[in-house]
Amino acid sequence: MLRLFAPWIAPIIGLGFVLALAFAFFTPRDPVTMLPSVSVARGGFHEEPRDIHYSFAGPFGRYDNRQLQRGFQVYKEVCSACHSMRLVAFRDLEQIGFSKPEVKAIAKNWAVETPSINPDTGEPATRKPLPSDTIPPPYPNETAARAANNNALPPDMSLLAKAREGGPAYIASLVTGYAAVPAAMHRKFPDFQVPAGLHYNPYFANLTIAMPPPLAADGQVSYSDGTKASKEQMAEDVSAFLMWAAEPKLDNRKRTGVAVVLYLLIATGLAYAAYRNIWAGKKH
């Protein structure tokens, strides 16, 4: 009996594998559906990120160093109280227009000191950060971070702009998107309640987020270049800075891409000219 069905075993297994792949490919895999309040979010109250134009958008876009410096100021004065940037060193800030003395002063005056070891006793100690140090986290460990944030863990911001769908536009929309629960939601979902310690935000996946509104009012940061610090301006600036932190080589990559395209166009033209010259006057 086994010999009778043996020729069909491999095709059946292969067909099952193909069907599994097809099911995985065509079935929507949305992590939002695994979160609470999905029925509410899918009820039309979840909003997509705002359409924001950034200077680095498009194939020829470039980072605006003045905006990146303003964004760093927002991160330093607002976001760094809860969020770390473990992959960014102070000396990296030279790439966005800060001078070496400015970077040295930023590191020296940072609110949190860098963990170190006392060379005399071998005991744990702290010291003022150096330009070569990465930005120190605001909390010594995850337990302390959760204890200070209602058991929520603030994510590291080093790669946040690349890790979130919607990128910097999502971040800018999220930090300015806090609002009261719409009356229409109460009518459509009478049982919906914002849990204690959370906040309603239509840009977040399940509409409720543990982070309090970070940008509470216009003028929360005083820009050194005189730019008016509206909530929208601060949100766009800090999201642009986080995009640079996640992809600092973006400008170089685009310049390289343009150079490669131009090279290929020229090479194609020369190859075509050589082809016409070699085969000129010859019958096919």
- What digits encode the pLDDT tens for the residues 259-279? 999 999 999 999 988 888 888
| Consecutive H or E run containing 249 | none
**Per-residue confidence band for 280, with pLDDT thresholds at 50, 70 and 90:** confident
Domain-by-domain residue ranges, the chain? 40-84+137-253
The full length of the chain comes to 284
pLDDT at 34: 40
Mean pLDDT of 176-196: 89
Residue pointed to by tokens 């002063």: 105
Q: What's the gap between Cα 231 and its chain centre?
A: 19
pLDDT score of 30 more than 60 = no
Strands 114-117 vs 85-89: parallel, antiparallel or unpaired? unpaired
pLDDT score of 37 more than 50 = no
Any residues with CB less than 8 A from the CB of 76 and at least 6 apart, and which? 106
What's the token pair of residue 247? 């992809």
- Indicate the average pLDDT of the chain: 86
pLDDT at 42: 52
Helix axes 167-175, 231-246, angle to 10 degrees: 150
SS3 (DSSP) at 199: strand
Q: pLDDT digits over 247-261, tens only?
A: 999 999 999 998 999
CATH of 40-84+137-253, one of 1.20.120.350, 3.50.50.60, 1.10.760.10, 3.10.310.30: 1.10.760.10
